[in-house]
Structure 1
């Protein structure tokens, strides 16, 4: 008979119940862990994850501000913002990019550099974002594309504000230009305020007043989808436009100065000695600043950089030249102040000068000399021998110290970029710069503005201004005022007065300034025939000629036998009218030869335009 196992119902129920209890406890434990985790995410870290989710939905975009405008003193615009048309491609809407580029190249001119830049940008953008292919399309290119627009899905033309300089070459060195922000500039600017901005001032006024002209960036909060495409604008804070500025320059005088210097290489700086305002600043040759705004092609930049006349070089601020005889009135004033000479003291100025106990002859520009001369005749006829002797007795240290009172050897601090300080030689300077001692013969040639001495045209204009104002010194400046954004009124800047040049007796000024009038208006003055004989007003001036290379002991300078690039530089400083100075000017003509023959007539043309035609 078969045996059957009898089921134990009680044991089975107890086993089942224990399993259920374990399962319930496990489920409760899981729910507990889930609740704790949810509490941590939604309560403890609520702010953090809310921000993250908002960032997935809302994007902050920068709105670049319009750049401030630049005007001349009469309201003529020098730098403006113009709509510039650029060709853009949205990759996700283009079926075959290479074919599209090839077909576009038949309509608009595409440089290899533009295509390479486009491909670099493409890698950093999302497919739905437009990427610029060609900047600054011409009107003809815009028209050509508009006709075939329907054949290019994903390609469009967009208008952007771009800097433009209507005066072109006339104001390039003064106003400067803007260009694309580079890595060095990124390191020094506030990147938050330059969000969305691609250009920045590079040189000149554009760079010096960058903070005024740039403005404040704006922002807009936009809602985007999961792919980052904008759906709508949620909030907008408009940008604050840069402030407009007015310069002290006058485009009429600037044009007259350029015309006077036409054909020459050199610089002209004209300023109002009463205020320090720069009225004209010309460096020739020049360049078109508009070439740099959208990125200058390498071939064109290389032509400008390598040109023998260096059009990119701002001679007015950066050029350093021996001042020559233009400094003789200042050296004469130093001799009076230190009681080395009196105005009536005379000496016989032969055709050369020798230091006591030395054989070397320091020649005068006039072969047979000037005969008996006093300070007046020495300045009017520019006697080298008189100033050789004065310089020797004055000594380099006293001479250097006194010339330094006029600002030589230091930058003027004008509100621009690239200014150089020149060189004001002294014993200390030579020991520090060259590691050698100073020789008496170097004092001799320093007294006539040669040797180690170097000045800029701006410094010489400042010296002329200080002479005109009898020692009152005002820092040269280009900014006349800033236009108030609310009232549209011009807020003028005040002149910045510097340490004046003081002398012991006021008549010392007359004793060097009257001879400057004689330079131009007396028949034996160096600038009489070329400049003063037909002048309609009284000019006080001083001619100068500085050597490009040194001559040997027995050599003579013959301009007709010397290559043009080795000829002397021609200089002239002046102010007018002499009795009530309203303009001070400095002119330098590189390799121009004689200051009286070349530089002085150029200065006369500029002063004529200012005083007679403009009523300055």
Structure 2
């Protein structure tokens, strides 16, 4: 019995020993594997996991630059930046987006417009980019979220500078506006340059000078905790702020031009002939650009878009109108330069003109005719027959080339986005576009600024400035200098200019003298606006909206308002030393002398100083 007991005990001891050895082997193997893994991690994969660890702890954040300010010629602030707080959601960090938004709505008002804008912007951005759900938070709302923000991972309050336009509608078509970057713009811009930036210039000067105003993005390296909150800034590269922009624009003159137009549709452009600076650029009606900065509501946008008055349409640089009789001084100069006429050469005006061998009559505005008129009389009284005859003598090729010298048919290059080139018809243009040959009768129509001939108000103003400047054509510009904020000096922008060659320099004084008589002569079509304080040179124009048949007569009173003739006027003053050139168009305004010319006179008075426009009666003459 004792022997059996001892044998069992010995067997149990051997079993325990075996188990201990086996366990020890497994433990040893496990420890060896762990040590090998640790060795692998510490040596082979050290660099890899070190980078991952640092990326989880250290983040690179873009620091957007401050957009440059915009000032008028006298230092009046036209475009500013003001701080604004927005509530933003980073979609990839939110588990249940709908539930999160509903909970946020219990903290602060979030209406259907906010939700709709959020959905629209969310589709335009990457999931890792923050999308605003509420804009322009009040201080109370910011404080409320600061208390409860820990409940909303992926939701943050972001502070940014928002563009604002103190002069609102007065500068909308000049400055344009900035707005949030859309998908199309995102595809074309350098994403590195716009990292952390939500806004970009959408029109006007804001878009034309985007590179100057935007600045250069900076970066900061920050340490964050497990929740992604910033603990400290490790290092940073500060952003370079956008340059402040200084314009030739005189906001007081801009105001005067706007008031002169009143509630009528139209445009006014004023240029300093000495340097090409745009002193005023008005398109009426206008709109409030502040509505667009953070996203305009659909209702407000539809109201602007579908308005019959087209307030979003910049008539000053995009409006293309038949220039009418305002081109007659330029046609006359072209005839002199081409050598096909002389100042004293007379043309008989019986009230109409017909090409040799044709019965079609091209009518003059005065049915009874002007009798025999020379160049001065033809410009002063705006005789159509004289310019039918002159255009026919020149032919379309020479007529086109001489008018092109003054910039018609091409963009002026003014630094406002969206400029249209107008249309200066030619033989080549008609063959290329309409697949038709040119007819002599079309040359006659171009000679009085009608037919397919189209010009923009900025083109007319630039051409008028060139006439005032004795053929020295300077590209019109709004911005004259830019400056780094805080810098003592500004960097002037270069001028682009050329000289129009007309052969005899004396022709400039001749045509300018004739244009002065348009205002000063008792038979001048703009005699209503002559001033006792300074001399004005100008030319009236009336542009047909539709063609009147051979046997029909035009009656403004029987014509729907929007089908009536456009009224135009160009002018510069003082004649002896021009400091301002103006082009005015009043849509469906009728005669240029009675409607557009008084607008120009008010603009000239505002710039040069002068007594109030007197009411001069008498017979209406021509345009």
Q: TM-score range by the shorter chain?
A: 0.7 to 0.9
TM-superposed CA distance for 1:474, in Å, is: 0.6
**For 1:370 and 1:487, how far apart are their aligned partners in 2?**
62
Match in the other structure for 1:565: 562
Any unmatched runs of 5+ in structure 2? 1-20, 612-623
**For 1:126 and 1:504, how far apart are their aligned partners in 2?**
66
Helix, strand or coil: the match of 2:274? Answer: coil
Match in the other structure for 1:251: 251
Q: Structure 1's 602 and 117: CA in aligned 2 closer, same or farther, altered over 3 A?
A: closer
Match in the other structure for 1:172: 172
TM-superposed CA distance for 1:136, in Å, is: 2.3
- Which of the numbers 519, 533, 553 marks the counterpart of 1:536? 533
**For 1:587 and 1:125, how far apart are their aligned partners in 2?**
48
TM-superposed CA distance for 1:158, in Å, is: 5.8
**For 1:506 and 1:385, how far apart are their aligned partners in 2?**
27
Any unmatched runs of 5+ in structure 1? 1-19
Higher mean alpha-carbon deviation, 347-356 vs 87-96, is at 87-96
TM-superposed CA distance for 1:29, in Å, is: 13
Helix, strand or coil: the match of 2:534? Answer: coil
Q: Structure 1's 419 and 192: CA in aligned 2 closer, same or farther, altered over 3 A?
A: same
Match in the other structure for 1:222: 222
**For 1:126 and 1:230, how far apart are their aligned partners in 2?**
20
Match in the other structure for 1:549: 546
Match in the other structure for 1:15: none
Match in the other structure for 2:430: 430
**For 1:157 and 1:220, how far apart are their aligned partners in 2?**
19
**For 2:275 and 2:413, how far apart are their aligned partners in 1?**
15
Match in the other structure for 1:4: none
TM-superposed CA distance for 1:493, in Å, is: 2.3
TM-superposed CA distance for 1:453, in Å, is: 0.4
TM-superposed CA distance for 1:205, in Å, is: 0.8
**For 1:94 and 1:344, how far apart are their aligned partners in 2?**
83
TM-superposed CA distance for 1:441, in Å, is: 0.8
Match in the other structure for 2:616: none
Match in the other structure for 2:508: 509
Across the two proteins, how many residue pairs are aligned to each other? 585
**For 2:340 and 2:214, how far apart are their aligned partners in 1?**
55
Q: Structure 1's 235 and 101: CA in aligned 2 closer, same or farther, altered over 3 A?
A: closer
TM-superposed CA distance for 1:446, in Å, is: 0.6
Assess if the C-alpha contact under 8 Å between 1:92 and 1:154 holds in 2. no
Q: Structure 1's 434 and 295: CA in aligned 2 closer, same or farther, altered over 3 A?
A: same
TM-superposed CA distance for 1:53, in Å, is: 2.5
TM-superposed CA distance for 1:226, in Å, is: 3.8
Q: Structure 1's 54 and 295: CA in aligned 2 closer, same or farther, altered over 3 A?
A: same
TM-superposed CA distance for 1:44, in Å, is: 5.5
**For 1:93 and 1:402, how far apart are their aligned partners in 2?**
69
RMSD of the alignment, in Å?
3.4
Higher mean alpha-carbon deviation, 80-89 vs 186-195, is at 80-89
Match in the other structure for 2:13: none
TM-superposed CA distance for 1:491, in Å, is: 2.3
Match in the other structure for 1:269: 269
Helix, strand or coil: the match of 1:65? Answer: coil
TM-superposed CA distance for 1:132, in Å, is: 3.9
TM-superposed CA distance for 1:51, in Å, is: 2.3
TM-superposed CA distance for 1:607, in Å, is: 0.3
Q: Structure 1's 212 and 306: CA in aligned 2 closer, same or farther, altered over 3 A?
A: same
**For 1:435 and 1:126, how far apart are their aligned partners in 2?**
52
**For 1:401 and 1:380, how far apart are their aligned partners in 2?**
24
Q: Structure 1's 310 and 303: CA in aligned 2 closer, same or farther, altered over 3 A?
A: same
Q: Structure 1's 437 and 119: CA in aligned 2 closer, same or farther, altered over 3 A?
A: closer
**For 1:119 and 1:349, how far apart are their aligned partners in 2?**
68
C-alpha offsets along residues 372-403 of structure 1, whole Å, 9 cap, x if unaligned? 10000000100000000111111011100111
Match in the other structure for 2:351: 351
Match in the other structure for 2:417: 417
Match in the other structure for 1:524: 523
Match in the other structure for 1:8: none
Helix, strand or coil: the match of 2:53? Answer: helix
**For 2:223 and 2:192, how far apart are their aligned partners in 1?**
21
**For 1:154 and 1:258, how far apart are their aligned partners in 2?**
53
TM-superposed CA distance for 1:41, in Å, is: 5.5
C-alpha offsets along residues 48-88 of structure 1, whole Å, 9 cap, x if unaligned? 44323221221111111111111111111111001224356
Assess if the C-alpha contact under 8 Å between 1:176 and 1:205 holds in 2. yes
C-alpha offsets along residues 236-263 of structure 1, whole Å, 9 cap, x if unaligned? 3222211111111010000000000111
Helix, strand or coil: the match of 2:114? Answer: helix
TM-score (norm 2): 0.87
Q: Structure 1's 372 and 158: CA in aligned 2 closer, same or farther, altered over 3 A?
A: same
Helix, strand or coil: the match of 2:326? Answer: helix
TM-superposed CA distance for 1:367, in Å, is: 1.5
Assess if the C-alpha contact under 8 Å between 1:79 and 1:165 holds in 2. yes
Q: Structure 1's 274 and 368: CA in aligned 2 closer, same or farther, altered over 3 A?
A: same
Q: Structure 1's 375 and 130: CA in aligned 2 closer, same or farther, altered over 3 A?
A: closer
**For 2:46 and 2:540, how far apart are their aligned partners in 1?**
81
Assess if the C-alpha contact under 8 Å between 2:242 and 2:484 holds in 1. no
Match in the other structure for 1:202: 202
